[in-house]
Chains A and B, each alone.
Chain A
């Protein structure tokens, strides 16, 4: 079965969604990413959606799930590269992607992940101090 590639870069996992995802592929990405976070001890996940020309409520839910699951596994998620037309449509649809951190592009997303790792040592992704 086809799947979306997940690249590892140090403590981070990178995903670039380049296809028009059907629902099962999106579900598979959610499962694959969760497994990879746990296998690789990743501290951050960066999802680049700049090639997506729509984000509907289903994809929105998958992105939200990924962010929640990675938080439980002590990793942070940043979604980057959303096209302006997609952002406009998403908000009118009634989705604000609450709980998902976003950045304009990959570079800014990586900076955000690095900064959040510095302020949040391992074990504090749930919001509680580790010591």
Chain B
């Protein structure tokens, strides 16, 4: 698997969340994603960037354009050094929320992408990686 292009962005404000959405859109267009797939990955990025900001106290996202044989994809890695998630299984349930959202963020995001991985350590932070293939 080759990495064609990569970029790391900081998420420290709600304006940064907008910038993340715009960059993810650009990457998705460049990878030749359909409009529906672009919309899905941008929406997923918006949910996760907001989580990084609201629950993780800010962090970073790494955008990577991937090529695996003939398939093209986009991988996003969100990292924060916030309080972490004590019970990941619970956090992944539809309707579960500790904050101001609808509780569809994590569980819903998982449905929008092909690969979803979350690693979290209480007191150390959370890392969420999603990949969408064309």
Give chain A's interface residues, CB within 8 Å of chain B. Answer: 20-24, 53-58, 60-61, 83, 85-86, 88-90, 92-95
Contacts and interface: CB of A to CB of B under 8 A. Distances in A.
Contacts of A92: 40, 108, 111-112
Q: Please classify the interface of chain A as helix (H, G, I), strand (E, B), loop, or mixed, using the class held by over half of its residues.
A: helix
B101 interface: yes
A92 B40 CA distance: 9
A23 B50 contact: yes
B107 A94 contact: yes
B15 to A, nearest CB: 5
Contacts of A20: 18, 21-22
B39 interface: yes
Contacts, number: 72
A61 B102 contact: yes
Interface residues on B, range: 20 to 34
B43 interface: yes
Name, among A23, A56, A60, A89, the residue most crowded by chain B CB atoms within 10 Å (CB to CB): A56
Contact of A88 (B36, B42, B100): B36
A93 B108 contact: yes
Interface in B61-93: none
Nearest to B17: A22
Given A22-B15, A57-B101, A95-B104, A89 B40 contact: yes
